[in-house]
Structure 1
Amino acid sequence: MNAPRTRVQRRPVHGVLLLDKPLGLSSNDALQKAKWLLRAEKAGHTGTLDPMATGVLPLCFGAATKFSQLHLDADKTYEAVAKLGVKTSTGDAEGEVIERRDVPAQIDLAALAVEFTGEMKQVPPMHSALKKDGKALYEYARAGVEVEREARDITVHSLAIAQIGADELKFVAQVSKGTYIRTLGEDIGEAIGCGAHLVSLRRVATGPFKIDQCVTLAQLEAMNEEERLAKLLPVEALLPDHERVTLPPEDAGRFLSGMRRRGNWADHEQVAVFGPDTILGTAHVKAGELIPGRLLAPTEIEQILGTRT
């Protein structure tokens, strides 16, 4: 007879965990594992990584989930390895080989880097989570249906390419939101004239968060609860580009109830508002008025302050 499973006692946890997502695990599976280890009541992530991709995955807990959407627009940096001369159905190593071509003996890496840096149009891959008529593109792809996709504007801010073998390239790309690195690798392969697919993909930065700040699931598992909680960044870590405004206690209470505050502030679209002790929420300033946006609940503030005592 099997022993009954131990029920995890959930608790309020607030903050941001920078996870180094392992290979083969979906972003949601990684989130659920971290949530279980922290015994957190509420959790979410700031955009997904494919199961074959590893690297920086910011996980949001408690009050931080209110600001996770703001991070979707952040620039991201990836390290990738592309196998030349072989195209696959998915653009990565998980797909079936659909074409093989000879790899040129000489490749002008400098010219490639210039060609694929800057603003450009990119057609999203069929094997992606983008929706068409309420259905993810990868669902159509699995059914053998090709759907017309509209090219989207993307920006490759920087691109460094190195040849690490006769038929392999490694590249590091800092890109805007919505850029598919699999597609970038395929396009580079087509520009060379032989096709390509990705054999590895690692996100090394997203917004202000870098890979050396991250913790692995294995490291989390080896920690005690106090050590795990110590890995959490504060909620405001998601608001690095926001103007900071600190309110005195009497104004902080009114602001939390949704009331506008008036002060000598310059107009600003993105403001992080603090009380004497902790963050209260976001706002924008127009004509000297501080206008509330996403606000923390009083219970969330009490819980955050309670963890600091």
Structure 2
Amino acid sequence: MFHGFISIDKPAAITAHDCVSKLRKLLKQKKIGHGGTLDPMATGVLPIAVGDATRLLRFLPEGKAYNAKIRFGVVTNTDDITGEVISDRPCDDAITLEAIQELLPLFQGRIVQRPPAFSAIQIDGKRLYDLARRGEIAAEDVPTRLVEITEIRVLGWQSGAYPELDLAIACGSGTYIRAIARDLGEKLGCGATLAGLRRTYSNGFDLAASLTFEQVAAKLQSGNLQVLAPDHGLHLLPMALLDADSARRWQMGQAVSAANLSLLGEDSANSFVRTHDQDQSFLGVSEVSENLLHPVVVLPRH
């Protein structure tokens, strides 16, 4: 049995749920969950927790990064290239890279974004994409939300009848890159859609640590598959080191004193911390409250 994380380099045309199902078959174990959805057309980083690590998914840090390709002159009902084309109008030389670069600051920082109508967001318990398919909600009626984009910069530009722009985008959870493509096209007056998307970072995992399914299968066959440690991705949480007696009592579900833990400052009150023993073996996650470490996730020893 495996216990830890596997960062999958997701291929195109399958869902995050498909990835979980595929990994369950490969590893022959059921306790597997993913750390965030990724549109079927997109490729790239998909953190997947295996075994006991599934209990740690909620503690992964926020933050995602993408390489996106935007095609101008085409508008679709899904805001990406997989949707139904509702407008096809060659741009020729109507837009320039200079004009785009002047607009990009409008998409950085905390901005108001209208998600695509074809998205998994729920309204009154119903998925938006179900409402959109039945014609029960118009794109312009989708509720807006506040999102944060920490970086947006140009990677490449190709002019022509349907110009294409390559962007690097770093953002917070809940940001739709498809909406950025759509809105940029609207501001330029020519329309646009997302033509390609690759996630390069997600919730503490990057492409360098990611494996394709073919690589996972090959490592399994050779007996060399090693999952990432359960605390991989939790590096942004403060760390507490417990002495032997405190570690024993903590693992039994008892709260222990945090008074003498120098790594826990005043700012850590009522926060979650990684909890380790004196050998720095990861025990699980605690919540600090009233100068006590309360066990939240206690991992069994394997």
Flag whether TM exceeds 0.5 (same fold). Answer: yes
| 8 Å CA contact 1:20, 1:211 repeated in 2 | yes
TM-score by length of 1: 0.87
TM-score by length of 2: 0.89
Q: Give the distance between the partners of 1:141 and 1:131, measured in 2 at CA.
A: 12
Matched, 1:224 2:220: yes
Amino acid at match of 2:276: F
Among candidates 268, 272, 275, match of residue 273 of structure 1: 275
Matched, 1:29 2:15: no
Instruction: Using the TM superposition, give the Cα deviation of residue 80 of structure 1 relative to its aligned residue in structure 2, in angstroms.
Output: 0.9
Determine helix, strand or coil for the equivalent of 1:20. strand
Q: Give the distance between the partners of 2:189 and 2:90, measured in 1 at CA.
A: 9
Q: Give the distance between the partners of 1:254 and 1:294, measured in 2 at CA.
A: 14
| Residue equivalent to 2:74 | 86
Alignment of 1:149-298 (within 5 A): 149-161=142-154, 162-166=156-160, 167-225=163-221, 227=223, 229-230=225-226, 232-262=227-257, 263-265=259-261, 266-267=265-266, 268=268, 269-276=271-278, 278-296=281-299
**Tell me, which stretches of 5 or more residues in structure 1 are unaligned?**
1-11, 304-309
Q: Give the distance between the partners of 1:288 and 1:32, measured in 2 at CA.
A: 42
CA shift digits 1:247-283 (9 cap, x unpaired): 2232212112221111313341121011345322211
How many residue pairs were aligned? 286
| Residue equivalent to 1:126 | 117
Amino acid at match of 2:96: Q
Q: Give the distance between the partners of 1:157 and 1:276, measured in 2 at CA.
A: 37
Q: Give the distance between the partners of 1:260 and 1:178, measured in 2 at CA.
A: 35
- Residues 245 and 109 of structure 1: is their aligned pair in 2 closer, same or farther, counting only changes over 3 Å? same
| 8 Å CA contact 1:38, 1:225 repeated in 2 | no
Post-superposition, which runs of at least 4 consecutive aligned residues in structure 1 deviate over 6 A?
A: none
Instruction: Using the TM superposition, give the Cα deviation of residue 149 of structure 1 relative to its aligned residue in structure 2, in angstroms.
Output: 2.9
| 8 Å CA contact 2:64, 2:203 repeated in 1 | yes
Is 90-99 or 251-260 further displaced after alignment? 251-260
**Tell me, which stretches of 5 or more residues in structure 2 are unaligned?**
none
Amino acid at match of 1:202: R
Instruction: Using the TM superposition, give the Cα deviation of residue 291 of structure 1 relative to its aligned residue in structure 2, in angstroms.
Output: 2.1
Q: Give the distance between the partners of 1:138 and 1:228, measured in 2 at CA.
A: 41
Q: Give the distance between the partners of 1:247 and 1:226, measured in 2 at CA.
A: 38
Cα RMSD after superposing both structures: 1.8
| 8 Å CA contact 1:13, 1:42 repeated in 2 | no
| 8 Å CA contact 1:264, 1:288 repeated in 2 | no
| Residue equivalent to 1:8 | none
**Identity among equivalent pairs (%):** 33
| Residue equivalent to 2:100 | 109
Instruction: Using the TM superposition, give the Cα deviation of residue 199 of structure 1 relative to its aligned residue in structure 2, in angstroms.
Output: 1.2
Q: Give the distance between the partners of 2:186 and 2:284, measured in 1 at CA.
A: 47
Instruction: Using the TM superposition, give the Cα deviation of residue 38 of structure 1 relative to its aligned residue in structure 2, in angstroms.
Output: 1.8
| Residue equivalent to 2:62 | 74
- Residues 115 and 38 of structure 1: is their aligned pair in 2 closer, same or farther, counting only changes over 3 Å? same
